[in-house]
Chains A and B, each alone.
Chain A
Amino acid sequence: MAGGVSGYAAISAKVRAMYSNLLTPQDISRLSESPDFSSLLSALKHTQYGPYLSALKDNELTPRRAVQQIKRRLADTYASVVQMSPTQARPLIRQLYRSFELGNLKAVLRSIVTVSSSWNADEAPWDRVREVLFPFGSFSTLPAQAMVESGSVASAVELLKGTPYESAVSFALRRFSAEQNLFPIEVALDLDYWRRLWTEARKLKGLDREAATKIIGSLLDMNNLMWTARYKIYHKLSEEELINYTLPFGFRAHDDDIRAIAAGADAAAVISRIFPTIPDVAALLEKPHTGLPKLEVQIKRQVIQQCAAAFIGNPFHVGLPLAFLILSDLEIQDLIALIEAKSSDISDEELHSALLKTALQN
């Protein structure tokens, strides 16, 4: 089992090279100045996303397809990082990559639930669904097409046998049958995913473990806090439900913090204590419909800084590839925001508040 310098030599060199190709806050800022969708695409064609966008003809590049092409780069990046990572780090990176498969699984289940009511009967459900799925390639264990075509959530869940999702979904299926709502299945999947990710991080040793728990813990902080806030504000869940629908680990946000919010403590005060640099949390939570997305953006910016910090100091640990992959994902989130804004009527002000990187250029 190669670790330390020997295990991470190649991957840290590669990741550093790829890190330098990430778009800078200035690049994102420049892209955001594009007057419309087609100018944005022209500008993006001069970036690392160029070859992916050039693979389609201009008249085929709808906003949705452009997003898919951009995601293809992330898929290639993951495939390459997984392939080069040392044996002991691979399960963690693969599990991190699974977040996209998890997104695909949720999309597939949602499509099954909504297929009869809203979709065009002329178009096969699978044709619609596949356009929104992350291009996971051969890494995927999900029989997505067969699931969509199975026609019911119960039959689709049958097809998950042997996949990492089988256990979580089978427990939640009874509640779905009773409530006819995907919420319990989606929450079970989320909890299971993050538990597995955290377990993989904790399985590592030494510097690897320290770096992994710091980075994965930061993501967990964000999820736990956002889940708690959303479940409390939008779903009006009780204390015991809030606790059961969150996880007792993280980097800065501890279980006591989550339990305090669940028990009715001032969420703004707790979040401000965990992230002292985020201004006006109370004001954001006062208007949750607009405030919560803004709060999420602020926390994501903290994650970006945490990831960027992994590139300082000893590079021979799993923190570097993890941080790079998360930064790549967040960069794509910025690009998706840009594409959506430039192809619709979203104002510049709204766009800038949704962009993660631009705020970091100072």
Chain B
Amino acid sequence: MFFPREMTEVELIIPSKDLVTATKALSGRGVFHQVDSAYLGIESLGPNAWQEKAANYSALERRIQATMHTLGLEEQQRSASDFDTIIDLGAAHADIDRIEGEVKEVGERLLAEKKRMELLESQLRQIEPISDVNVEVGALSKSEHLYSILGVMPAAQMSRLETSLARVPHVFFTLKEDSQKPVVWLLGPRSAYDVLDRAAKSAYLNPLTLPEEFIGTPEEIAAKTRKAIETSKQAIFGLEAQLKKLGGAHNAELQKLWWDVHVSRLMADAIARFGQLRHTYVVVGWVPTAELQALTERLKAASKEILIETMPTERTAHSANVPVALTNNKWLKPIQELITTYGRPGYGELDPTFMVMLTFPILYGAMFGDLGQGLLMMLVGALAHKRIFMKGLQSIGLLLVYCGFFASVFGALYGSIFGFEGHHIQEYLGFHFEPLWISPVNDILTILGLAIDAGIVILLFSYLLSLFNAARAKDWAHFWFGHTGVVAIGFYLCFLTILNSLLGSTPIAPKLAAAISRLPLPFGILTPIFAVGVMLNGLFRNIVEGHRPLLDGGAMFFVQAFMDLFEGAISMLSNTLSFVRVGAFAVAHGGLSLAIFSLAGTEPTIGFWVTIIIGNIFITGFEGLIVYIQTMRLHYYEILGKFFHGGGMRFEPLRLNPSQEEA
């Protein structure tokens, strides 16, 4: 629950005779993350034949797809169980050869005819704009003084071509405007023929080339071309009808053939990464422990002689190669997305989903406390989640529900409904509603102080989680002397006593800092000790980890050590005070509501209510968004950075069907 799903490393020895059935069992439900174990095989057996088979299946699959494409057929995915065994390559080749034989000839004729028609249309497009010019097209190229190029070119290159000819006398016509292939005519003196030619070539102006039989004036050529296009269209229509008939006749067979070859290719790809021994294969991979029993049963059913060795995996710092499958729970999805945006947890690391599931909506609610707007946000979130309203927000629908819930809880605590607070509620809404806890607008400094207190609690908790992670990973150097290690926490506690003495008895002074200051501990002595500890934590880590040299960089080490202490103290101050924003936004929410009220006036007219409704929509959308950013910022910078490293490897199980659910 607090960690990624527990994984078990599985090593299998599969007898050659059961290879296919066992592989099918492994791929069947999307629970087995394969590790390339080809290197465990015996090299003297020669190159792995399955690699070649996989390549052959892949080539065959493409041939089938090409044939289906020619026949206008779409591949239809089937269920994983709708597959018997790896298809025999020879038989599959024979089947596709036979169908391809029937389809290929018609397909190639159709393709050739389409190409011919495309060419004819292109020629017609180029010749039509000059159809009223009463000269032989061939004569244009025979002119003594003029050099002329008629053709098509990329539209984007036209202005560049003109620029490139700025120093050469020329005329440039666009005979036919077209966003893709405009027809152009470039004319210039024959004496500058080489410049014109180079410029035209480099601007990708493709000159018009007409078949020899197309001679005469542009009008005569256009008429001949139109006739040829008509003939070509009829031929295409006939060939397409033939293909449709063939498609109907071969659809079922091709679909079955494609599916068998497709799955065979996937399985051959998987087997190619098994280690091949003389009579057996070695397979290594990972399975979520919860799925192990079911997988083992399926494997045993597939092969009676299979050897299965399982090794539960410890969650240590050395488990970087263990794939990470997060808890599959739809209610946690939006929070998991927030976390994985920051980083995928490592296998040995705490999955912060559950903590963030609490802290994110609570901090959000504390900043956006309003009973009415919170409930509205919940409603919008629920509708978006169900794709009934604002479908674009579907992915964060549930997050809106959670945040809206806590916004309404804090709204009740702050005594705020749709921006109405205190006597306004009685006056305009007609009932009495007092804050159950505190009114941020009326008690600004107290709420700011409380926000800092909350920040201290969250930071200390984050530090403790970091210690927990380090202890589990047996990373003792970082446990004691890391940036969030024991020494750093000691220094943070001392720092809080200093903060308390600075803020004194002001209302903003965090009560937790005051409580820590009252502990019967010699903070005057502890502070310099921990400060030196923070300064020299690099040195201490080197000692614990046995790294040499201990002092890297000589005198510069001490300069850097001092800067580490300075940076550490500044970070602690900024991290702690960063939580002031929680209180500040709670106050700002009240302030923004007051601004809406001053715009609306005092009389409850229609104008008043319209302003209040628009104001509430604005606050819910605009402030809701800003608070979301602030909450995310607090988590990414202040909270997660303390104990969460990420960098885990994604769990990518073998699947026969892309739509198969992840275990």
Of the four ranges (under 10, 10 to 19, 20 to 34, 35 or more), the interface on chain B belongs to: 35 or more
Taking the closest CB of chain B, its distance from the CB of A128, in whole angstroms, is 13
B649: chain A residues within 8 A (beta carbon): 51, 55
Closest to B205 in A: A171
Closest to B632 in A: A13
A80: chain B residues within 8 A (beta carbon): 341
B632 touches A10 (CB 8 A): yes
A9 touches B628 (CB 8 A): yes
Q: Which residue of B198, B342, B647 contacts A238 across the interface (Cβ within 8 Å)?
A: B198
B629 touches A17 (CB 8 A): no
CA distance A124 to B58 in the complex (A): 13
B204 touches A240 (CB 8 A): no
Q: Which residue of B39, B198, B342 contacts A17 across the interface (Cβ within 8 Å)?
A: B342
A241 touches B321 (CB 8 A): no
Taking the closest CB of chain B, its distance from the CB of A56, in whole angstroms, is 8
Check A84 for interface membership: any CB of B closer than 8 A. Answer: yes
Chain-B contact segment, one of A62-70, A94-102, A243-251: A243-251
Check A233 for interface membership: any CB of B closer than 8 A. Answer: no
Q: Which residue of A13, A168, A240, A259 contacts B636 across the interface (Cβ within 8 Å)?
A: A13
B163 touches A175 (CB 8 A): no
A60: chain B residues within 8 A (beta carbon): 39
Taking the closest CB of chain B, its distance from the CB of A171, in whole angstroms, is 4
Q: Which residue of B341, B626, B637 contacts A10 across the interface (Cβ within 8 Å)?
A: B341
B 546-564 to A, binary, CB cutoff 8 A, 1 in contact else 0: 0000000000000000000
CA distance A174 to B208 in the complex (A): 12
B321 touches A172 (CB 8 A): no
A 32-72 to B, binary, CB cutoff 8 A, 1 in contact else 0: 00000000000000001011001101011000000000000
A9 touches B625 (CB 8 A): yes
CA distance A245 to B168 in the complex (A): 18
CA distance A175 to B203 in the complex (A): 11
Check A192 for interface membership: any CB of B closer than 8 A. Answer: yes
Most buried by A among B55, B164, B198: B164
Closest to A237 in B: B202
B632: chain A residues within 8 A (beta carbon): 9-10, 13
Check B460 for interface membership: any CB of A closer than 8 A. Answer: no
B161: chain A residues within 8 A (beta carbon): 244
Near A by CB (< 8 A), chain B positions 608-656 give 625-626, 628-629, 632-633, 636-637, 647-649
Chain-A contact segment, one of B152-160, B379-387, B483-491: B152-160
Check A146 for interface membership: any CB of B closer than 8 A. Answer: yes
Check A278 for interface membership: any CB of B closer than 8 A. Answer: no
Near B by CB (< 8 A), chain A positions 234-272 give 237-241, 243-245, 247-248, 255, 259
A 151-181 to B, binary, CB cutoff 8 A, 1 in contact else 0: 0000000000000000110011011000000
B391: chain A residues within 8 A (beta carbon): none
A124 touches B341 (CB 8 A): no
B 191-205 to A, binary, CB cutoff 8 A, 1 in contact else 0: 000010011011110
A171 touches B163 (CB 8 A): no
B204 touches A241 (CB 8 A): no
Check B659 for interface membership: any CB of A closer than 8 A. Answer: no
A195 touches B633 (CB 8 A): no
B156: chain A residues within 8 A (beta carbon): 191-192, 195
A14 touches B163 (CB 8 A): no
A239: chain B residues within 8 A (beta carbon): 164, 167
A240 touches B159 (CB 8 A): no
B62 touches A245 (CB 8 A): no
CA distance A243 to B162 in the complex (A): 10
CA distance A59 to B39 in the complex (A): 10
B154 touches A240 (CB 8 A): no
B629: chain A residues within 8 A (beta carbon): 5, 9-10, 13
A59: chain B residues within 8 A (beta carbon): 39
Taking the closest CB of chain B, its distance from the CB of A240, in whole angstroms, is 4
CA distance A112 to B648 in the complex (A): 39
A248 touches B160 (CB 8 A): yes
Q: Which residue of B59, B203, B648 contacts A244 across the interface (Cβ within 8 Å)?
A: B203
Question: With A167-B154, A174-B206, A188-B204 as given contacts, are A244 and B199 in contact (CB-CB < 8 Å)?
Answer: yes
B164 touches A5 (CB 8 A): no
Taking the closest CB of chain A, its distance from the CB of B149, in whole angstroms, is 13
A171 touches B159 (CB 8 A): no
Check A314 for interface membership: any CB of B closer than 8 A. Answer: no
Check B320 for interface membership: any CB of A closer than 8 A. Answer: yes
B625 touches A50 (CB 8 A): no
Check B442 for interface membership: any CB of A closer than 8 A. Answer: no
CA distance A48 to B168 in the complex (A): 56
CA distance A50 to B625 in the complex (A): 35
A175 touches B204 (CB 8 A): yes
Near A by CB (< 8 A), chain B positions 41-55 give 55
CA distance A259 to B410 in the complex (A): 66
Taking the closest CB of chain B, its distance from the CB of A73, in whole angstroms, is 11
B320 touches A51 (CB 8 A): yes
Taking the closest CB of chain A, its distance from the CB of B542, in whole angstroms, is 15
Closest to A14 in B: B341
CA distance A237 to B198 in the complex (A): 10
A195: chain B residues within 8 A (beta carbon): 156
A167: chain B residues within 8 A (beta carbon): 154, 180
A248 touches B204 (CB 8 A): no
Near B by CB (< 8 A), chain A positions 10-31 give 10, 13-14, 17
Check A6 for interface membership: any CB of B closer than 8 A. Answer: yes
CA distance A192 to B152 in the complex (A): 16
Taking the closest CB of chain B, its distance from the CB of A253, in whole angstroms, is 15
B154 touches A248 (CB 8 A): no
B 309-352 to A, binary, CB cutoff 8 A, 1 in contact else 0: 00000000000110000000000000000000110000000000
Q: List 9 A-B contacts (CB under 8 A).
A: A10-B341, A10-B632, A13-B636, A80-B341, A171-B152, A240-B202, A241-B164, A241-B199, A248-B160
> What would 9 more interface pairs be, CB under 8 Å, given A171-B206, A241-B202, A243-B163?
A50-B647, A57-B39, A59-B39, A124-B55, A171-B153, A188-B204, A192-B156, A240-B168, A241-B199
Residues on B facing A (Cβ under 8 Å): 39, 55, 58-59, 62, 152-154, 156-157, 159-161, 163-165, 167-168, 180, 195, 198-199, 201-204, 206, 320-321, 341-342, 625-626, 628-629, 632-633, 636-637, 647-649
Residues on A facing B (Cβ under 8 Å): 5-6, 9-10, 13-14, 17, 48, 50-51, 54-55, 57, 59-60, 80, 84, 124, 145-146, 149, 167-168, 171-172, 174-175, 184, 188, 191-192, 195, 237-241, 243-245, 247-248, 255, 259
The 5 A-B residue pairs with the shortest CB-CB distance, nearest first, are A243-B164, A244-B202, A240-B164, A240-B199, A241-B202
